[in-house]
């Protein structure tokens, strides 16, 4: 396709700049003229069937989450998709941040590391239990698919390889990135705990400064078996000053997925407790700025399957192999502290955003006629509120929080269980969008997201 010049129009989008080129085609930063928001506009040029299927898989997953009004704060957000004529394109909310791979080139404060893990854990649990197509297994959780902004907020991206009941291609074994893949992923038997394993590998890398597994494919699981048979000695060595934290990581990367935590949020909760137990300061610190302002196109444009093929063929390790400074050594950490947290979609992404028209001599692209969004976004759908009625947690349990947000603190159900188990009657006090304020039988109150509740059982 012909390059789109700054200021030109494509359907309902006005082009700001070309960010780069991904596997499926060019990626642009643009303004969605219907609401003035900035988007990353990814095009699909003529590609083989597998690449096309992954493109439409991500489009469908993101669109259905938005249509149901249940999109997660820390998950890439769908804006529009055009498929009435070629070239097809997908627009997602533009996120002014950098890949976590860039943050990892410098020392990462434990508080920032924990914040990233907690936020991504919430997004993963939404995919596993709250998405309309749940369970959706991401299958490629890694630093390259996590964006971090200047406030230290994280965003999980790239759902192209997401596995769910409506999307399972043949011969998909070994999809993913070897450094973050558990044994069952090589067999094509992915579970929600598969993503937990990968997230724990990211957590270890953030806290120790180095990746735990090598970058080559481990189809025979030699690395994982050696790690298991050694009693996970490398984890204990890499986190020698954090023994309780090492124990939590070890459980989350257990060889058998049934031995891991029930949910990603439970893993993140236990990780916080362990860091506190180890005496680690959790003061939040902003990530070190990088010079590459537009790294995002690499993440939006790349797809999990292409990364796997590249790794298998080239045997590449994209991460720094030298060990950066870690807690316990003399370090010069960043000094900027977190201020007001800026959520994705705020700030510059305001309605009425205007860009300058193209300069003299620029090639103007006529708006493509007949283009319309593949589907219109409907109002969020939630169960009718029945104040004073009762409801019970879903089968996976419910995490009670002090505020209606996954950024809120979890209120443990008991000394033995962080989650409220299924079967416990909760009294409904209030509803705010997709969150329910509930009261436990012991009179404690808190907030639960709709996807962790049995909404069909409201009485």
pLDDT at res. 171: 54
Top CATH class of 98-314 equals mainly alpha
User: Which two tokens mark 57?
Assistant: 């898989």
Q: Where along the chain do the CATH 2.30.30.40 domains lie?
A: 390-457
Place of tokens 């196109």: 297
Which of 43-52, 128-137, 432-441: highest mean pLDDT?
A: 128-137
**Residue 335 neighbours by CB under 8 Å, 6+ apart:** 285
pLDDT of 107 higher than 70: yes
Q: Name the residue with higher pLDDT: 451 or 355.
A: 451
pLDDT at res. 175: 73
Cβ atoms of 98 and 148 within 8 Å: the answer is yes
How far is residue 349's CA from residue 94's CA, in Å, rounded to a whole number?
8
pLDDT of 84 higher than 90: no
Summarised one tens digit per residue, pLDDT across range 278-319 is 999 998 765 655 544 444 444 444 444 444 444 343 333 333
**Residue 176 neighbours by CB under 8 Å, 6+ apart:** 139, 140, 161, 185, 198, 304, 308
Q: Where along the chain do the CATH 1.10.510.10 domains lie?
A: 98-314
Mean pLDDT of 327-336: 32
Summarised one tens digit per residue, pLDDT across range 165-183 is 877 655 555 578 999 999 9
Q: Which overall architecture, per CATH, does domain 390-457 show?
A: Roll (2.30)
Spell out the SS3 assignment of the chain: CCCCCCCCEECCEEEEEEEEECCCCEEEEEEECCCCEEEEEEEECCCCHHHHHHHHHHHHHHHHHHHCCCCCCCECCEEEEECCCCCEEEEEECCCCEEHHHHCCCCCCHHHHHHHHHHHHHHHHHHHHHCCCCCCECCCCCHHHEEECCCCCEEECCCCCCEECCECCCCCCCCCCHHHCCHHHHCCCCCHHHHHHHHHHHHHHHHHCCCCCCCCCCCCCHHHHHHHHCCCHHHHHHCCCCHHHHHHHHHHCCCCHHHCCCCHHHHHHHHHHHHHHCCCCCCCECCCCCCCCCCHHHHHHCCHHHHHHHHHHHCCCCCCCCCCCCCCCCCCCCCCECCCCCCCCCCCCCCCCCCCCCCCCCCCCCCCCCCCCCCCCCCCCCCCCCCCCEECECCCCECCECCCCCCCCECCCCCCCCCECCCCCEEEEEEECCEEEEECCCCCEEEEEHHHECHHHCC
User: Which two tokens mark 59?
Assistant: 């489009």
pLDDT at res. 385: 54
Q: Name the residue with higher pLDDT: 52 or 362.
A: 52
- pLDDT confidence band for 342 (50 / 70 / 90): very low
pLDDT at res. 459: 65
How far is residue 122's CA from residue 399's CA, in Å, rounded to a whole number?
11
Share above pLDDT 90 across residues of the chain, in percent, rounded to a whole number:
52
Mean pLDDT of 51-70: 89
pLDDT at res. 274: 97
Q: 92 φ, ψ to 5°?
A: -120, 155
Q: What is the pTM of this model?
A: 0.70
């Amino acid at each position: 396709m012909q390059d789109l010049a700054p200021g030109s129009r494509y359907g309902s989008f006005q082009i700001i700049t070309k960010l780069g080129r991904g596997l499926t085609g060019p990626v642009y930063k643009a303004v969605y003229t219907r609401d003035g928001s900035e988007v990353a506009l990814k095009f699909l040029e003529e590609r083989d069937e597998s690449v096309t299927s992954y493109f439409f898989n991500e489009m469908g997953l993101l669109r259905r989450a938005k249509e149901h009004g249940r999109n997660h704060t820390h998950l890439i957000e769908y804006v529009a998709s055009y498929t009435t004529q070629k070239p097809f394109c997908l627009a997602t909310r533009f996120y002014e941040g950098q890949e976590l791979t860039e943050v990892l080139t410098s020392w990462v404060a434990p508080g920032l590391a924990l914040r990233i893990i907690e936020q991504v854990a919430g997004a993963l649990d939404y995919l596993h239990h709250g998405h309309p197509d749940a369970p959706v297994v991401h299958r490629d959780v890694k630093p390259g698919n996590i964006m971090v902004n200047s406030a230290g907020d994280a965003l999980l991206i790239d759902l192209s390889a997401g596995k769910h009941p409506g999307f399972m291609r043949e011969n998909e074994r070994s999809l993913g990135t070897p450094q973050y893949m558990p044994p069952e992923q090589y067999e094509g038997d992915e579970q929600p705990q598969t993503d937990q394993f990968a997230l724990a590998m990211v957590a270890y890398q953030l806290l120790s400064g180095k990746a735990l597994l090598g970058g080559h494919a481990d189809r025979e699981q030699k690395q994982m078996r050696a790690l298991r048979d050694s009693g996970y000695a490398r984890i204990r060595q890499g986190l020698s000053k954090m023994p309780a934290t090492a124990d939590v990581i070890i459980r989350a990367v257990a060889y058998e997925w049934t031995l891991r935590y029930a949910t990603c949020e439970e893993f993140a909760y236990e990780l916080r407790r362990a860091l506190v137990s180890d005496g680690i300061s959790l003061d939040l610190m902003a990530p070190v700025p990088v010079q590459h302002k537009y790294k995002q196109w690499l993440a939006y444009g790349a797809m999990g399957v292409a990364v796997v093929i590249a790794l298998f063929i080239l045997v590449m390790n994209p991460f720094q192999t030298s060990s950066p400074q870690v807690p316990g050594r003399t370090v010069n950490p960043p000094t900027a502290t977190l201020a007001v947290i800026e959520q994705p979609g705020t700030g510059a992404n305001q309605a009425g955003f205007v860009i300058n028209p193209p300069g003299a001599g620029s090639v103007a692209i006529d708006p493509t006629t007949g283009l319309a969004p593949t589907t219109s976004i409907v109002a969020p759908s939630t169960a009718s509120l029945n104040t004073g009625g009762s409801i019970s947690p879903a089968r996976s349990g419910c995490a009670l929080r002090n505020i209606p947000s996954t950024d809120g603190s979890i209120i443990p159900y008991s000394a033995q269980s962080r989650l409220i188990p299924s079967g416990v009657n909760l009294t409904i006090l209030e509803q705010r969008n997709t969150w329910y304020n509930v009261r436990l039988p012991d009179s404690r109150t808190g907030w639960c997201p709709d996807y962790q509740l049995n909404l069909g059982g409201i009485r």
